[in-house]
Amino acid sequence: MDLALQQRQEMKMVMTTQLRQSIELLQYPTNKLEEFIREQQLENPLIELEERTSISSLKHDWSYKSIAGKQQSETMDLKEDIQYRDELYKLAKLSVDNAQHSLMKKMIYNLDDNGYIQNPEEIMSLEEYEQGVQHLQKVGPIGIGARNLRHCLLLQANCLYPQCHEIETLIKDYLELLANRKWEKISLHMDISLSRVKELAEQIKSFNPKPCALYSNPSHIYIQPDIIVNITDGKLDFTLNDYYLPKISLNEYYMNIGGHSKEETKQLSSWYMNYKWLVNSIDQRRQTMTKIMQLLMDKQRDFFTKGLSSIQALTLKDIAEPIEMHESTISRATMNKFIRTPMGTFDMKVLFDSKMVTEQGDFFSKTKIKYLLKELLLDENKLKPYSDQKIADCLLKINGIKISRRAIAKYREEMNIPSSDKLRIYNSENFKYIDK
């Protein structure tokens, strides 16, 4: 066999270390991105970090709504044995004058495990209490410091829906009727339609009746959203919740030192390239997430304003094509990210769902079908629960959705809803707590 040297020209893509890190950085949640930035500073003396001093935009989310009806802990950080009162007090001291530190300490260390202050008149004046509650809303979960459930829900309603007086009236005067799902009586007393009552009920169901329950139980999970969606003057807007990330700048001291050797110059150049890559990668990450969210705000507008009942079928391709990105980029940018909306806090993957076509040619998402399934089960006769086939027939008759019995059984399992043959009463997510 003869040996010979041959020259051949070919094209292939080689993934560099920095390219691979850029891809990983895109899929980092914001809290992990912060850890990565601080690790880079330790390894690169040219990277200088400036801590953010403004605390006006401090935003924490203490709840997570799982569409499947169960916690999805594989994508969340578990904080065990956290002393939430100590953490709250640290934040509170930054947001109030020195003269109010004593009041905030009194408020925070009298919170029960659910985040309530029962019988506040026994430890402070009414004026002090009302002032303290307003301060707590800025540093803790909305509703913290309330006297009872009704007060807690009112605080959340005033924050999330300040212009909606119907929600306030419903909570103040008809909470017991709401808990017992007396839609007709509420409709009659408030002089509004049944559909409007159910819409208001859906909004209230997204509230958290126990603001600090997640922190008082180490088996629960604390979520800090990566994106926050708000409704301002009837218009949707969003912000990337990265206010706390340190500002990255170049340490000029090392750059201005003269007399470098060849090896020192090479090392300095490597550090500088790493610094530039980090700044550019973070900026690119922000731009990518902003483009995706701008399109999601348009595609899922009804979901952000009305909740899961209005979520649209949407695929990665539907987002990727208009902004000229690859589907894999959209997948990475939304991976391990959580979004806080007026309807609750969700994993961003909830916004992307496969399409199911009805007999009329309309599209339904898997998530919306689950919502319709839950609505059917809420209205069933608990002594004669619907079979999977009966549910499939109802969805076909009412919504034109043709779905198999096996698919219904699968959705039941994903939502932790027992099958009809077990003859269990399905407890919905309606309010189980009524203040006495």
Strands 227-232, 338-341: pairing is: parallel
Q: Are residues 152 and 210 in the same domain?
A: yes
Please write the tens of the pLDDT for every residue from 46-59. 999 988 754 333 34
In angstroms, what CA-CA distances link 255 with 48, 103, 279, 413? 12, 49, 17, 60
Q: Are residues 92 and 166 in the same domain?
A: yes
Q: Per the domain annotation, does 60 fall within a domain?
A: no
Q: Are residues 187 and 301 in the same domain?
A: no
Answer whether residue 388 shows pLDDT above 50. yes
Q: Are residues 310 and 365 in the same domain?
A: no
Answer whether residue 409 shows pLDDT above 80. no
> Residue 345, SS3?
strand
Averaging pLDDT over each range in 54-68, 105-119, 188-202, 251-265, which range is the top one? 188-202
Q: What sign has the CA pseudo-torsion 293, 297, 298, 300? A: positive
Answer whether residue 74 shows pLDDT above 50. no
Percentage of the residues of the chain whose pLDDT score is greater than 70: 73
Confidence of residue 138 (pLDDT cuts 50, 70, 90): confident
Answer whether residue 4 shows pLDDT above 70. no
| Averaged pLDDT score across all residues of the chain | 76
Q: Per the domain annotation, does 74 fall within a domain?
A: no
Answer whether residue 371 shows pLDDT above 60. yes
Q: Which range of residues forms the domain containing residue 24?
A: 18-48+226-351
pLDDT: which is higher, 90 or 66: 90
Among residues 351, 381, 403, which one ends one of the domains? Answer: 351
Q: Which amino acid is at 47?
A: I
Q: Where are the alpha helices (DSSP H) in 300-387?
A: 301-306, 316-320, 327-334, 366-378
Q: Are residues 92 and 207 in the same domain?
A: yes
Answer whether residue 334 shows pLDDT above 70. yes
Q: Are residues 202 and 92 in the same domain?
A: yes
Q: Per the domain annotation, does 311 fall within a domain?
A: yes
Q: Per the domain annotation, does 124 fall within a domain?
A: yes
Q: Are residues 287 and 269 in the same domain?
A: yes
Q: Is the pTM of this model over 0.85?
A: no
> Residue 237, SS3?
strand
Number of domains in the chain: 3
Q: Are residues 196 and 265 in the same domain?
A: no
Averaging pLDDT over each range in 210-214, 364-368, 403-407, which range is the top one? 403-407
Q: Which of 59-68, 88-97, 100-109, 180-189 shows the lowest per-residue confidence on average (mean pLDDT)?
A: 59-68
Q: Per the domain annotation, does 38 fall within a domain?
A: yes
Q: Are residues 306 and 205 in the same domain?
A: no
Instruction: Go through the chain and tell me how many residues it has.
Output: 436
Among residues 318, 351, 384, which one ends one of the domains? Answer: 351
> Residue 57, SS3?
coil
Confidence of residue 281 (pLDDT cuts 50, 70, 90): very high
Instruction: Compute, in degrees rounded to 10, the torsion defined by CA atoms 345, 236, 287, 271.
Output: -60
Q: Are residues 344 and 359 in the same domain?
A: no
Give the CATH number for residue 392: 1.10.10.60
pLDDT at 64: 40
The Cα 223–Cα 154 span in angstroms is 23
Q: Are residues 106 and 203 in the same domain?
A: yes
Q: Are residues 203 and 312 in the same domain?
A: no
Closest CA to 319 of 305, 302, 331: 331
Q: Per the domain annotation, does 141 fall within a domain?
A: yes
Among residues 160, 186, 216, which one ends one of the domains? Answer: 216
Q: Per the domain annotation, does 433 fall within a domain?
A: no
Q: Per the domain annotation, does 58 fall within a domain?
A: no
Give the single-character DSSP code of 314: B
